[in-house]
Amino acid sequence: MTTTTNRELLRIAVHSLFYLAMIIAIMMMWEDGGVFVYENF
Amino acid sequence: MGRWCVMNRVWAWYRRHYLLVNVSILFLLIDLALGIVDPLHRVKTPLDDALAEIDKRPAGTRSAVLLVGNSAVQVGVDAKDMETQLERAGLSVAVYNVGLASTSLRDIPHEIAAVEKRGVKVAAVVVGMNLFAGDVRFEPLMYPWADRSSPYVFFYRTLWRRRIARNVVKAWHRVTKTPEKTDDAGSQDFRETVFLARFQNTTPSDLAFSELGGILKSLASNGIATHVVLLPQNPKGTAQLAQYAELMRALRAEMPKDLLDVADSFSPDEFRDVGHLNEHGRAHLTDALARWLTLRMQAK
């Protein structure tokens, strides 16, 4: 454990958040079969 | 010494597979948090407006008549005016409009349940039907009864995208100080296009009108009287839809025989678009509905 540096922890955090954001973005952009949502009239 | 050895091995494993661990845990946590906070449903919906109206005009000891259906009911009938007209005919009931934008006939039981939850005694419902009401291919996601079956972000992706897009447009207009186009002005063409796009490849089997019978039956078994009205649609829009007559035939076939059918009896200048009435149309439909309902309720 002594070999872990702050730099490595930062790298782990940044990578994790980046891939999480990618997964969420892909989910959000996923084809929805043309669902049409009226919201307000 | 032994414990350090294990810890080192675990750490070494984690350093290799940190993405697998972190991303899944973070994803689960975020999904849990989103499900609890539910940011998409913190925005006011037509349901909130309908319930606020009930609080504003409480039924008291009277029982209530609910107008249920989609946005065509929501904008097409003036519940307060109708209540006055029924009162004048000697019928002391509260009338509430619970028509909710973008819902289909499958949402009708939820609309009624939402009102009953407020302690209102529902004696009768007026079910407003049109082509949109039978279209269950599109689920409204903004109401609390949407049954979420997948992660929050994925399930509500359409709603997210719409909200984001709308806020970007709003921000753009605020920054450039240009006025936003409102729904009323110049949008008739757009909504006619929406109507055509939605129904031009539709066959009667795509629409779930046959489910109305079951819904009416279950309401009747709960002691709620049901009245069905076939709502007006703009002839200017429906004339452009090749299979309009075929779809309407399928719709009428599934309706009870004693319905009020005003589907094709309003003129184009009473509409905002294909399915939504303007102020004139609203007054016209409210009067027609109140007269019809008075006769039916007095006959009982």
How much of chain B, in percent, has pLDDT values that exceed 70? 96
Query: Per-residue pLDDT tens for B141-150?
Result: 888 898 888 9
Contact indicator for B19, A16 with CB cutoff of 8 Å: yes
Q: What is the ipTM of this complex?
A: 0.83
Mean pLDDT throughout B17-29?
96
Query: Per-residue pLDDT tens for B48-88?
Result: 999 999 999 999 899 999 999 999 999 999 999 999 999 99
Query: What letter would DSSP give residue B179?
Result: P
Q: CB B27 to CB A23 under 8 A?
A: yes
As a whole number of angstroms, the distance between CA B252 and CA B231 comes to 12
- List the single residue in A27, A28, A37 with the smallest CB-CB distance to B141: A37
**Per-residue pLDDT band at A41 (split at 50, 70, 90):** very low
Question: What single letter denotes the amino acid at residue B129?
Answer: M
Q: Residue B54's closest CA among B123, B101, B121?
A: B121
Among B9, B21, B22, most A C-beta atoms within 10 A, so best to mutate, is B22
**Per-residue pLDDT band at B281 (split at 50, 70, 90):** very high
Specify burial of residue B71 (Cβ count, 10 A radius: 0-12, 13-18, 19+): buried
Mean pLDDT throughout B185-190?
58
Tally: H helices and E strands in chain B: 12, 5
Query: Per-residue pLDDT tens for B225-256?
Result: 999 999 999 999 999 999 999 999 999 999 99
* Residue B19 host element (H or E): helix B2-37
Rounded to the nearest angstrom, the minimum Cα separation between B299 and chain A is: 35
Q: CB B101 to CB A40 under 8 A?
A: yes
Instruction: Provide the number of CB pairs (under 8 Å) joining chain A to chain B.
Output: 77
- CA Rg, chain B, in Å? 24
As a whole number of angstroms, the distance between CA B72 and CA B74 comes to 5
Q: Residue B223's closest CA among B61, B51, B63, B47?
A: B63
Q: What pLDDT score was predicted for residue A35?
A: 60
Q: What pLDDT score was predicted for residue B185?
A: 44
Q: CB A27 to CB B157 under 8 A?
A: yes
pLDDT, averaged across chain B: 91
Q: What pLDDT score was predicted for residue B233?
A: 94
Query: Per-residue pLDDT tens for B136-183?
Result: 887 788 888 988 889 999 999 988 888 888 889 999 999 998 887 765
Q: In this complex, is the C-beta atom of A4 within 8 Å of any C-beta atom belonging to chain B?
A: yes
- Residues of chain B in contact with residue A36, where contact means CB-CB under 8 angstroms, are 138, 194, 198
Mean pLDDT throughout B84-111?
94
